[in-house]
Structures are given as C-alpha cells and as structure tokens.
Structure 1
Amino acid sequence: MKAVVVVVIAGIALAAALEQPVPVKDMPVGKSVNGRITMGYPATEGKVPYIVSLVFSNGNGGSWFCGGSIIGHTWVLTAAHCTNGASSVTIAYGSVRRHQPQFTHVVQQNDILQHEAYSTKTLNNDISLIRTPHVDFWSLVDKVELPRYEDRYNNYYGWWALLSGWGKTSDDSGVSDYLNCVDIQIADNSVCESYYGSTTITPNHVCIATPENKGSCSGDSGGPLVLHDVNRQVGIVSFGSSAGCLSNSPKGLTRVTGYLDWIRDHTGISY
C-alpha cells in the first residue's frame, strides 16, 4: 500500500556541493559496513527468485560484478554501466549464496543490448538488456514483472520497495557471498536533484534517500528495486555519491517506467 511520502531533512542538500554521480559498483565503502546492501538483512531462499548475479569480462583479463533481474524466459535487465565494455557475461541463477547457483549461462557481447543513448558522464539512460538461453521458471528462479503501461507516469513517491544484491562489505573485501535485502521508501526526485543537480537527475530516475544508511553499495549495480505490494520492478541500481556508501547521501536508480517502449521494442515484453 502506498505510504506517506518521505520527509527528507533539508540539510542533506545544503551540506554538499553538487556531485558527479559515481556508478554504484565503483562507490567507496567504509570498513564498518554491516550488511552488504548497507544496513539490510539476509535474504531467505526463494525471497528474490528474479535476481541474478552477473560477472562481466572485457576479454583482456578484466572482470567486474553486478546484479540483474529476470524479466522473461530469455531476458535479463541490468544497468548500462555494468555492460559497458563487456565482451561476455556469466549469469548465475537461483541462489542466495553467490557461489552456489542453481545453474549458469555464459552470454557473449552480441546478446548484450546496451541503451544507445547511455552517457558515461551523467549515467543517464543507464539500462541494458541481456538475451539469454531459455530459462524455465520455478520457486527459486522466476521473473519479476515490469510496470504496466497505465502506470508509466506514476512517480511512486512514498511507496515501499525491496532492494537486493551482493554488494561489498568493505574496501578490502570482495562482493558478498550471501544475498542481502533492504526495504526502501522511494523519495521525491528533488532530493537527488538537490544533491547531484538537474543535469544529472531527470524524470527517468528514481531517487532513494538514505538517512539511516540503508541502500545499495559497491557490487549492487544493476540490481532491481521491486515494489512490495505488486512485485513489479520500478528501478535499476545506478549511481551514488563519491563520499561513500555510509555518507547518508541519496542514490539514483534508472526509472523503469521511462524505458517501457525501449524494453518492449527489443524483447516484446509489456504489461
């Protein structure tokens, strides 16, 4: 059920000059982080059957980790800053422990569809699709639905949603082995605009305020933000502040409703 819109302390905007966004996968984190997805809780098996872990390779020995979501039998949704520069990706399905998936698929560059207008500077249009071999759905591996066309102008301010991922626990650690979740209330975009500026924040973003340091951290990039009540994905983890995961700074996500036509045109998926 829609909750009361978050009232955000004005000091967040006043305390910092406008910042350039930092991809969440590159955000610095403090050594005292508790809970991967910061200040979250461990996921139970089957709680988030639509999430996948993604290990990208650039073909030259470089690799990086992100999250993604299953949106159809042959499609995964993630962030463009995750796919950018990748020559292949290994997709792991159906696990809370990252190293113990139900199965994996390796997908090559030709099946990675990055938004043609993605900007590495502002991180606008931070969305990509990955075409996969056919995946059957069951209790541990299932799709998440996208917003319906009739909801494309819903800003979801004040709605509660679930964020999940395997983000880092400290600067010295790798990504977490165990999937974590956190419950997030969607904020007004003005909160992020005050921090990052109107050039960075557009109507195609979802903003989350983090007054209790609850949110995404390095390694959570590309992961889904899914509404509690209707199990529909409304956001893709995109960027945060260079001040770090525990800086109480707001974070920006790609707003899925802004790309329903783009997703439909490439996948045929619509609601």
Structure 2
Amino acid sequence: MQIRLALVSLLMLIQGRSFNCLDLGHGIDGRISGGKLAEANQFPYQVGLSIEEPNDLFSWCGASLISERYLLTAAHCVEKAVAITYYLGGVLRLAPRQLIRMTKPEVHLHPDFDCQTLDNDIALLRLPEDAIICDSIRPIRLPGISSRSVSYDYVLAVASGWGRMNDESTAISDTLRYVARFVESNEDCIYCYTNIKYSNICMDTTGGQSTCTGDSGGPLIYNDPTQNTDVLIGITSYGKKSGCTKGFPSVFTRVTSYLDWIGEVSGVIYS
C-alpha cells in the first residue's frame, strides 16, 4: 500500500492554467481527453473564460451559468483575474451566442480557498449584464438543500470543456467536447490523492477519458431522474501531473458542500 501511494500521490495537474501560487500543472492548451464532440445547445450552461492576469498573462478555463447573472468556476482559475471575457452559448469556442468582456471583474472566491492545497476550490462570478436566455444559453440547476448529503457514488456523470484531447496536444480546442464517466467513491479516490476530502468528488477515467488542461472550472453534471433534469454536482479542479490519459481519477469540487455559501452570495438556492 505504501509503495502504491508513493507512486501515485503528489505532483497534481491543475486542469486549466499555469498556477502562480503553487506550480501544480501545465499551461493552457487542448481539449477534453478522449471525449466526444458536443452538439449545438447540448450544454447551454457551459461558459468559456478567457482570463487576463497581471503582467499580460492569459489563461483559459470553463464555468457554469447558474442564473442570469452568476457563474460557478474554480477559484484557482480567477484568483488573479484583472479582466475576463465570457463566452456564452457556443460549441465553437470563438463563435459564442453572447460575448461579454469585463475589466475589474466581480469575483467571489470562497473565503477558505487555499491555493496550496486547492481546498475549497470554488468561486462565483457576477456578470455585468444579464445572460441572454435562449436554447443555447440556459442556467444549470444546482442540487437542492435536501440533497446535500447525497454522495453520487457510482452514478454516470458528464464533464465538458475545451481541455486537451491528449497529453501531447499543444493548442486550445476550437470545439466543445464531453466525456461521460462514473463517479468514483472518495474511499477509492484517496488511493491516488491523499488529500481528498468530502468536499471533493472524483470521476473514473479508465481508458483515458478525462478532463485535462483547459477544463478547470467547468461542469460535472448528473441527470437526476427524480427531477428529470441535469444537476451541477462538480467543478473541475485538478488531476495528475503525469498526464490526463494515465487512468488516474479527475478531481472536482463537490457542489453540495457549498450550497449555503452559493445561496448567500448569489441568491441561487433550491429546496
């Protein structure tokens, strides 16, 4: 057991951008690893973020629209943002239905976000104008407060983004992609990541189907049969530095752990 943990722990890959606080990953490039091409209006809640940081540094991340004005993303994506361009309603990355640019963006990092450990890797962004709600732009539902104790272990979930197709990719994807994989229990995930907490949720990546560099902040979605609707259960956070196609789980921020905070900041809450 100790040998296995030594081989697979540490050296994690931030699934989205170069990381100044603690260099856990690679820069921006690519597509969802091993994924399928998204169809028009398949992921109307998916938002792309072009993020400008001090010293003319740029990065790309994903986000999820949760209301006409608010997005959820990963805190590590936007902690240093001085300007953000929001791409809403597009499958083709550079052909969105709505494009919004904001200098001095309104960013709400979780107050307990730790850039060293990536604990509480979650942030809310407030748009400067309403999202244009239509077939290609539509908020995703959050889990209800009554679902806060649901683990989602072993359910089929879908992650989407413009992240790398494989570990050799060198360019940001022009087209949105997605993977459908099963949620892995935290008890299994901890064999690969010793810092996993209940506020994380993991996805199996057997066969090289995974989130990858460029996908950070993007959604992990579960189709809830009791509501007959898609529900946002995770936010892409990190993976292994050794590569996206090696079979190590992808790690997400567990949305149900932050429902009260999301409601307090954004007013978005479901019973």
With normalisation by structure 1, the TM-score equals 0.89
Q: What code does the residue aligned with 2:81 have?
A: A
Aligned to 1:234: 233
- 1:120 pairs, out of 97, 115, 120, with 115
1:156 aligns with 2:152: yes
Which consecutive residues of structure 1, in runs of 5 or more, have no partner in the other structure?
1-9
C-alpha displacement at 1:137, in angstroms? Answer: 1.1
Check conservation: 2:14, 2:26, Cα contact below 8 A: no
Q: 3-state SS of the aligned residue for 1:194?
A: coil
Mapped to 2, the partners of 1:28 and 1:88 lie a distance apart of 21
C-alpha displacement at 1:242, in angstroms? Answer: 1.0
Mapped to 1, the partners of 2:202 and 2:8 lie a distance apart of 18
Check conservation: 1:114, 1:129, Cα contact below 8 A: yes
Q: 3-state SS of the aligned residue for 1:173?
A: coil
Q: What is the 5 A alignment of 1:101-120?
A: 101-120=96-115
C-alpha displacement at 1:58, in angstroms? Answer: 1.0
Offset from partner CA, 1:184-217 (integer Å, 9 cap, x none)? 11010122211111xx211100011212111101
Q: 3-state SS of the aligned residue for 2:170?
A: coil
Aligned to 1:182: 179
Q: What code does the residue aligned with 2:111 have?
A: E
Q: What code does the residue aligned with 1:151 have?
A: S
Aligned to 2:46: 51
Aligned to 1:100: 95
Which consecutive residues of structure 2, in runs of 5 or more, have no partner in the other structure?
18-24
- Taking structure 1 as reference, are residues 98 and 24 closer, same or farther at Cα in structure 2, changes over 3 Å only? same
Mapped to 2, the partners of 1:115 and 1:14 lie a distance apart of 30
Q: What code does the residue aligned with 2:160 have?
A: S
Aligned length: 256
RMSD of aligned C-alpha atoms? 2.2
With normalisation by structure 2, the TM-score equals 0.89
Mapped to 2, the partners of 1:131 and 1:25 lie a distance apart of 20
Check conservation: 1:28, 1:245, Cα contact below 8 A: no
- Taking structure 1 as reference, are residues 154 and 13 closer, same or farther at Cα in structure 2, changes over 3 Å only? farther
- 2:202 pairs, out of 194, 199, 207, with 207
1:25 aligns with 2:13: no
Q: 3-state SS of the aligned residue for 1:231?
A: strand
1:216 aligns with 2:211: yes
Mapped to 2, the partners of 1:95 and 1:53 lie a distance apart of 9
Aligned to 1:267: 266
Q: 3-state SS of the aligned residue for 2:66?
A: strand
Q: 3-state SS of the aligned residue for 2:55?
A: coil
Q: What code does the residue aligned with 1:54 have?
A: L
Mapped to 2, the partners of 1:177 and 1:217 lie a distance apart of 15
Runs (4 or more) in structure 1 with deviation over 6 Å come to none
Q: 3-state SS of the aligned residue for 1:269?
A: coil
My pick for the range that moved more, 133-142 or 164-173, is 164-173
- Taking structure 1 as reference, are residues 103 and 17 closer, same or farther at Cα in structure 2, changes over 3 Å only? closer
Mapped to 2, the partners of 1:221 and 1:107 lie a distance apart of 20
